[in-house]
Amino acid sequence: MLSEKLMPRFCDTDVLGHINNTVLPVWFEAARTPIFKIFTPDLNPKAWKLIVAKIEVTFKGELFYGQEVEIKTVIERVGNSSFVILQQAWQHQECCAEGRTTMVRYDFAAKSSKSLSQQERESLAHFMV
């Protein structure tokens, strides 16, 4: 499991004083960096090998400004050319949001999906649930 802690910014809040619902996908994407490095170690966007096929976020509780949030990241499933990343946002020892992102190994020149290599599969397996 990967874990990253962050401190919500004031601009992440909404008029109700909660972390805005649009912020969670951004936090989840930032916490996926170690996964991205499996495919593009230097994070060079010109050598990128992944696309997002689906993202969903389920809100389970409130998140607040000025209080640390921990993003936990695991790989939930690995397919032929895609994999699902499960992420959770925790605050005060409570899971407040959960997200699933389906990533696809992609060949931008051919404009099609590409099978995951054995090495990529093994690297992803280190983060499996």
> Span 2-119: which CATH code?
3.10.129.10
Q: For the chain, what are the domain ranges?
A: 2-119
Q: What does each of the 129 residues of the chain score in pLDDT, given as a tens digit? A: 999 999 999 999 998 889 999 999 999 999 999 999 999 999 999 999 999 999 999 999 999 999 999 999 999 999 999 999 999 999 999 999 999 999 999 999 999 999 999 999 999 999 998
Q: Which residues pair with 70 in a beta bridge?
A: 5, 90
* Dist CA 51 CA 1 (whole Å): 22
Please name the residues in contact with 85: beta carbons below 8 A apart, sequence gap of 6 or more. Answer: 32, 35, 73, 74, 75, 76, 100, 101, 103
